[in-house]
Chain A
Amino acid sequence: MAEVIEIKEEHHVDQLPTPNNGEGGENSALNISYGKTMMWYFLLSDAFTFSAFLISYATIRISQPWWPDPNVVFKSFPFMAHANVPLGFVSVMTFVLILSSVAVVRAVQEGHRMNQKGVVTWMFWGIVGGVFFLGCQAWEWNNLIHEGLRPFYNPFGPNEAGKTTLFLEKMAMSPGPVAFGALFFGITGFHGFHVFTGVCLNVYGLIGAANGPFHKRGHYEMIEKLGLYWHFVDLVWVFVFLAFYLM
C-alpha cells in the first residue's frame, strides 16, 4: 500500500505518469512481453502433461517385480548389424538435441544484435539438429518394432528363468511387463510429436528471418518465443532419457 501512495505523490510532483506499477499501460510488472509470458505459461501446462505421463510410468514400473534392462533393450546402432553398443545411439541423439538447442540460443542472441544473417544461419543448424533427431527416433522405433516390441506386447523378458511361480503366471501375456511398449511408444512418441512441431515452427522462424519481416519489426522476438518452445523440448528429453534409458 505504501508503495502505491508513494507513486501517486511522485506523479503529482513530476506531472509524469510512470506506469511501472503493473496496473496497466504498456510496461508490464514482470518486464517481459505478453507473447513470451504466454509461451512460458503454455510450457508450464505442457510440463504438467509430460509429468502426468512420466509419473504414470514411474508408478507402473515400481509396481512390477522385474523391468527390462535399458542396456539390453537399447543396444543397437545403425549400420552396425548385431552390434552391442548399450546406450550408444541414444547418447548421440541426446547430444544432437542439446547442440540443436544451443544453435537456437545463438540465433536468439544474434537477433538481439539485429544480425539477420546470424539468425538465419543458427536457425538453420537448429532445424538440422531437430530433423536429425527425428530421423534417429524413426530408426530406433523401426528397430524395436522389428525386435517385436508392440504397445501391448513386450518381448524383453527376464533373463534367468523362474523368479516365483506367481510371478511367471502374471507375465504369461508376454515375456516382459506388458505396459513397457505402450509407455515407451506413448511417451517418446508424444515427445517426438513435440520435436516435429518444433521443427515446423522453426522453419517458419527461419523463413521469417530470411525474408525480412522480423527485421522490419525492429526485433526478433518471434525467434525468442520459438526458442523457448525448442528448449522445452530439449528439457523434456532430459527426463525421458532419465526415465527410459538411465534408470
Chain B
Amino acid sequence: MSGHLTEEQYKSQVAAVWKSTLWLSIITVVEVVIALTLGHLIPKFILNLFFVLASVLKAFFIIAEFMHLKYEKRAFIISLGVPLIFLVWALIAFVVEGNYWLHLNFPK
C-alpha cells in the first residue's frame, strides 16, 4: 500500500476509518453500560462471554481496519493468525488448571 492514491480511494478509506471508530466507541459504551447496570442480574458466565466476544470484535476492527491487515495478502494474514492457535490452547489449559487449584484448596 505504498502507492499513491486517487481522491476517491482516499475518501472511501477515510470514511471506512471513521466508521470503524464509531463501531469501537459504540461497543465500548455498551460494554461499560452493561457492566454497570446488568452486572448483578445476568449470570456471570453469560456476562463474561459477552465481554470476551465484544472485545474480540473490537480487536477485529483495530487489526483489520486500523492496522490495515484486511488489505494485505492472504498468505501474510495466515502466517500471523495461525501461531495464535497456541494461545487459545494455552488459555484453555491454564484456566482448567486454575479451576483445579480452586477445588484443591477450597473443597466444596
Which residues of A are at the interface with B, using a C-beta cutoff of 8 A?
Answer: 29-33, 37, 40-41, 44, 47-48, 51-52, 55-56, 58-65, 70-71, 86-87, 91, 94-95, 98-99, 101-102, 105-106, 108-109, 112-114, 164, 166-167, 170, 219, 221, 224, 227-228, 231-232, 234-235, 238-239, 241-242, 245-247
Contact = CB atoms under 8 A, between A and B. Distances in A.
B95 A58 contact: yes
A62 B59 contact: no
B62 A102 contact: no
The list of the 8 closest CB pairs from A to B, nearest first, reads A63-B101, A62-B98, A59-B98, A63-B98, A59-B94, A242-B55, A30-B76, A231-B66
B42 interface: no
B105 to A, nearest CB: 7
A40 B95 CA distance: 28
Interface string B82-108: 011011001100110111011001100
Interface string B20-50: 0100110011011001100100000000100
B14 A106 contact: yes
Contacts of B97: 59
B51 A247 contact: yes
Interface residues of B, number: 52
A106 B10 contact: no
Nearest to B17: A105
B39 to A, nearest CB: 7
B5 A112 contact: yes
A228 B67 contact: yes
Contact of A166 (B10, B32, B106): B106
Given A91-B28, A113-B5, A231-B62, A106 B17 contact: yes
Contacts of A105: 17, 65-66
B106 A55 contact: no
Contact of A238 (B59, B87, B105): B59
A30 B75 contact: yes
Given A55-B91, A62-B102, A170-B105, A33 B17 contact: no
A71 B2 contact: no
B14 A51 contact: no
Contacts of A219: 2
A193 B72 CA distance: 29
B107 to A, nearest CB: 8
A109 B10 contact: yes
B4 A62 contact: no
Given A228-B67, A235-B59, A30 B51 contact: no
A87 B32 contact: yes
Contacts of B52: 242
Given A32-B72, A87-B36, A109-B14, A58 B94 contact: yes
